[in-house]
Amino acid sequence: MPSRPDTDDPRLGDLSEGEILKAILSRTAQATHTIIGPGDDAAVIATPSGTVVATTDTLVHGPDFRLAWSSGFDLGWKAAAVNLADVAAMGARPTALLVALAVPRDLRLSFVESLADGFREACAALAPGCAVVGGDLTVSDVLTVAVTALGDLEGREAVTRSGARPGDTIAVAGELGLAAHGLAVLFGRFRDGETPIPVDPALLAEGERQAVAAQLRPSPPIGLGLFAAVAGATAMMDISDGLALDARRMAAASGVTIALDGSALGGDPVRALAGGEDHALLAAFPPGVVPAGFLVIGEVRPPGEQPLLCDDAPVDVSGWDPYRDWDSAAG
Amino acid sequence: MPSRPDTDDPRLGDLSEGEILKAILSRTAQATHTIIGPGDDAAVIATPSGTVVATTDTLVHGPDFRLAWSSGFDLGWKAAAVNLADVAAMGARPTALLVALAVPRDLRLSFVESLADGFREACAALAPGCAVVGGDLTVSDVLTVAVTALGDLEGREAVTRSGARPGDTIAVAGELGLAAHGLAVLFGRFRDGETPIPVDPALLAEGERQAVAAQLRPSPPIGLGLFAAVAGATAMMDISDGLALDARRMAAASGVTIALDGSALGGDPVRALAGGEDHALLAAFPPGVVPAGFLVIGEVRPPGEQPLLCDDAPVDVSGWDPYRDWDSAAG
């Protein structure tokens, strides 16, 4: 939704690549670790401790977001947040983002300006010192935002998903199921037939407003990833596909069983187990160690028949596989 | 073009994300600098000299490639090569690639397997020791390959595009205009009306075959980027949008005029000046220093009225702006 008249807000197809990049780059903050920022063939980022953490995650219009629901700001914020969460889940401090944008020609300049604002503000709020240091702009009929995030371990070992040991405590930082609740509100209340329509905040109760915000502009606890690593987390990952699926992945990678306590999963345990896109941090800690900000939700046991239990019963919630679940026709 | 029966070559929409990733990851080589490879939230790459070079570049079906002309192998190779060239242009050694794939549901598994092969073989041929260390898979109606390349400066300063000084020699490594010639052959000879049709190699003369190969599977001189840096290059960039446009960018960034010698630009100087997508390396060297593999094509002069001259005349070839030039309807 451009906030200025169309005449002052050209379509991207009527601008050169250089004109669009200039508008975007004027909104980029300086990253603390940048040696060479945008404008050359590549960026150069300091890695004083001798390693770099790198991850990539893409948002595609349709399966990952809808323009009727997400503003440019929302989209930039979310694309930053989901990538920052992957860096945090290794126990690293995010240092830099690279953003590959593929944009339709009829998109307005104000949209990509807001997108750049969303990237900047998400970094400022969730990972101070991190910023966009490079990118690429191309044209596509499908708006696509592919982000790579880099991070620094500051001399620590990376916290992988394979280090959980029997006797460890399983804990989580961040929301479980809130983003999925938000998606359910959007699909249930803000469509005309199959077509998404803009969200009217006046129609939302306070809890629904929070859930929709968690879906559109998630705020995973990025700083707690470092905190968990310093505290001695034995395993960590971000919960992008739902607690059930991701805890199973941690159990499989670690060769253990993870036993959850259903009473710790809030008022709607099925939603907490199945709901994706919260990007909460799931971590295993040695006995007696649970840092502030993490909530204990279970324990690690020796490998058994089932990789995942909840209240000692197998969990038959499958989690979120966007590839299977999305249908371009059904929406 | 699947080389096996359809029954043995499922559509991606009929597979889970895990099944597709397994097929891709079985084709990934080990990168020399990898500490943690694919399979966790992020990869960890060694950066012994304390910095990392990072760049991103995307290929989108339509403006950047056509499936009638490019095989999966071609596409993976090209996506690797164009990103490796940006790392090389900073004087760095490529160490790792991250690949964000957005794929239509009806694409065949064999296509992404060949794509993975193309990435692996391009790295092996152009940048030994570099490999894919991470990625992301999502669904999109438009096949999109967004790559981030990382590199190591091995203790050297980065070679930017802004360091060219009057008196320096301008030289180039790699082809000028060959990829554009290949694109012209494809557009001129392998379309049915506006629709691209598969290339029949039997219809191509030897020079045309080379040109089409340069367009579909470019082999920029990645190793010569390091070589130029060690030799003392004062400025360097890869020529992705044509010599005229990119030399102008170097002249502007360096605050100089670049004067080219038309007789050094081969038999078709206009094609050499205008043609994009060769990813040759354009470099400035101090007087008397031109490393093997680089061809002298001009000199750096103090800033004048024109940033770029060819045979002492202004150059009115504009170069390649895919954003302006591509039209999804016209193709």
Q: Whose structure tokens read 């020529």?
A: B239
Contacts of B149 in chain A (CB under 8 A): 42
Residue A317 pLDDT: 77
CB contact under 8 A, B149 and A42: yes
| Residue A158, helix vs strand vs coil | coil
C-beta of residue A181 within 8 angstroms of C-beta of residue A213: no
**Higher confidence at residue A30 or residue B258?**
B258
C-beta of residue B143 within 8 angstroms of C-beta of residue B84: no
Residue A329 pLDDT: 38
d(C-alpha A66, C-alpha A72), whole Å: 11
Quick one: angle between helices B109-126 and B17-25, nearest 10? 30
**Higher confidence at residue B257 or residue A49?**
B257
Q: Whose structure tokens read 């009306």?
A: B193
- Of the candidate ranges A49-58, A268-277, A316-325, B223-232, the one whose mean pLDDT is the lowest: A316-325
Contacts of B44 in chain A (CB under 8 A): 51-54, 90, 153, 158
Residue A241 pLDDT: 92
Query: What band does B218 get if pLDDT is binned at 50, 70 and 90?
Result: very high
**Higher confidence at residue A275 or residue A325?**
A275
Q: What is the DSSP pairing of strand A308-310 with strand A313-314?
A: antiparallel
Q: Produce one character per residue of B199-212: b if its CB has 16 or more CB atoms within 10 Å, e if not.
A: beeeebeeebeebb
Q: Check the annotation: does A209 bind a ligand.
A: no
Residues B176-183 have a mean pLDDT of 95
Q: Whose structure tokens read 């290929």?
A: B59
- Per residue in A208-256, pLDDT (tens digit) is 999 999 999 999 999 999 999 999 999 999 999 999 999 999 999 999 9
- Per residue in A271-290, pLDDT (tens digit) is 999 999 999 999 999 999 99
DSSP letter (8 states) at residue B68: T
CB contact under 8 A, A56 and B86: no
Strands (E), B17-64: 34-36, 43-46, 51-60
CB contact under 8 A, B153 and A44: yes
Q: Would you say residue A84 has pLDDT above 70? A: yes
Closest residue to A160, CB basis, from B36, B105, B137: B36
Nearest CA in chain A to B152: A44
Residue A6 pLDDT: 65
| Beta partners for residue B281, in sequence order | B173, B238
Backbone angles phi, psi at B121, to 5 degrees: -75, -35
CA distance B311 to chain A (A): 27
d(C-alpha B173, C-alpha A19), whole Å: 30
| Residue A170, helix vs strand vs coil | strand
Q: What is the DSSP pairing of strand A295-301 with strand A169-173?
A: antiparallel
* Mean pLDDT for chain A overall: 93
| Beta partners for residue B260, in sequence order | B298, B310
Residues B121-134 have a mean pLDDT of 96
Torsion-angle region of A154 (φ positive above 0: left; ψ -120 to 50: alpha; else: beta): left
Cα dihedral sign for A56, A62, A63, A65? positive
Q: Which class for B318: exposed (0-12), middle (13-18), buried (19 or more C-beta within 10 A)?
A: middle
CA distance B203 to chain A (A): 31
SS3 content of chain B, % helix, strand, coil (to 5): 35, 25, 40
C-beta of residue B289 within 8 angstroms of C-beta of residue B229: no
d(C-alpha B264, C-alpha B72), whole Å: 36
Q: Which class for B106: exposed (0-12), middle (13-18), buried (19 or more C-beta within 10 A)?
A: exposed
C-beta of residue B224 within 8 angstroms of C-beta of residue B93: no
CB contact under 8 A, B41 and A149: no
Nearest CA in chain B to A162: B40
Query: What band does B317 get if pLDDT is binned at 50, 70 and 90?
Result: confident
Contacts of A39 in chain B (CB under 8 A): 253
Q: Would you say residue B320 has pLDDT above 80? A: no
Amino acid identity of B323?
Y
Residue A326 pLDDT: 42
Residue B314 pLDDT: 94
Residue B303's Cβ-side half-sphere holds a number of Cα atoms within 13 Å equal to: 9
Q: Would you say residue A327 has pLDDT above 70? A: no
Residue B5 pLDDT: 61
- Write the DSSP assignment of A248-292 as a string of letters: HHHHHHHTSEEEE-GGGG-S-HHHHHH-----EEEEEE-TT---T
CB contact under 8 A, B44 and A153: yes
Which of A143, A162, A246, A323 best probes binding to B when mutated, by most B CB atoms within 10 angstroms?
Answer: A323
Torsion-angle region of B323 (φ positive above 0: left; ψ -120 to 50: alpha; else: beta): alpha
- Per residue in A10-34, pLDDT (tens digit) is 999 999 888 998 999 899 898 899 9
d(C-alpha B296, C-alpha A212), whole Å: 59
Residue B321 pLDDT: 53
Nearest CA in chain A to B153: A44
Percent of chain B with pLDDT over 90: 87
d(C-alpha A186, C-alpha B196), whole Å: 40
Nearest to B301 by CA among B227, B247, B262: B247
Query: What band does B85 get if pLDDT is binned at 50, 70 and 90?
Result: very high
Residue B324 pLDDT: 45
Q: Whose structure tokens read 């379309």?
A: B191
Contacts of A87 in chain B (CB under 8 A): 41-42
Backbone angles phi, psi at B58, to 5 degrees: -120, 140
Q: Would you say residue B92 has pLDDT above 80? A: yes
Amino acid identity of A81?
A
C-beta of residue B91 within 8 angstroms of C-beta of residue A44: no
Residue B3 pLDDT: 54
Angle CA B308–B314–B315, to nearest 5: 75
The structural domains of chain B, ordered by start, are: 15-152 (3.30.1330.10), 169-324 (3.90.650.10)
Query: What band does B327 get if pLDDT is binned at 50, 70 and 90?
Result: very low
d(C-alpha B310, C-alpha B236), whole Å: 19
Structure tokens at B193: 């009306």
Query: What band does A4 get if pLDDT is binned at 50, 70 and 90?
Result: low
DSSP letter (8 states) at residue B108: B
Nearest to B11 by CA among B95, B110, B94: B110
| Beta partners for residue A244, in sequence order | none
Closest residue to B47, CB basis, from A51, A140, A144: A51
d(C-alpha A294, C-alpha A185), whole Å: 27
Residues B54-65 have a mean pLDDT of 96
Nearest to A216 by CA among A189, A181, A242, A248: A181
Contacts of A158 in chain B (CB under 8 A): 35-36, 40, 42, 44
d(C-alpha A248, C-alpha B237), whole Å: 46
Structure tokens at B141: 């109606």
* Mean pLDDT for chain B overall: 93
Structure tokens at A118: 């969303």
Closest residue to A42, CB basis, from B86, B102, B144: B86
Q: Whose structure tokens read 């990789």?
A: A307
Q: Would you say residue A163 has pLDDT above 50? A: yes
CB contact under 8 A, A150 and B87: no
| Residue B169, helix vs strand vs coil | strand
Closest residue to B140, CB basis, from A13, A50, A142: A142
CB contact under 8 A, B138 and A238: no
Residue B205 pLDDT: 97
Q: Would you say residue B7 has pLDDT above 80? A: no
User: Edge-to-edge, what's the strand order for the sheet holding A280-285?
Assistant: A235-239, A280-285, A169-173, A295-301, A257-260, A308-310, A313-314
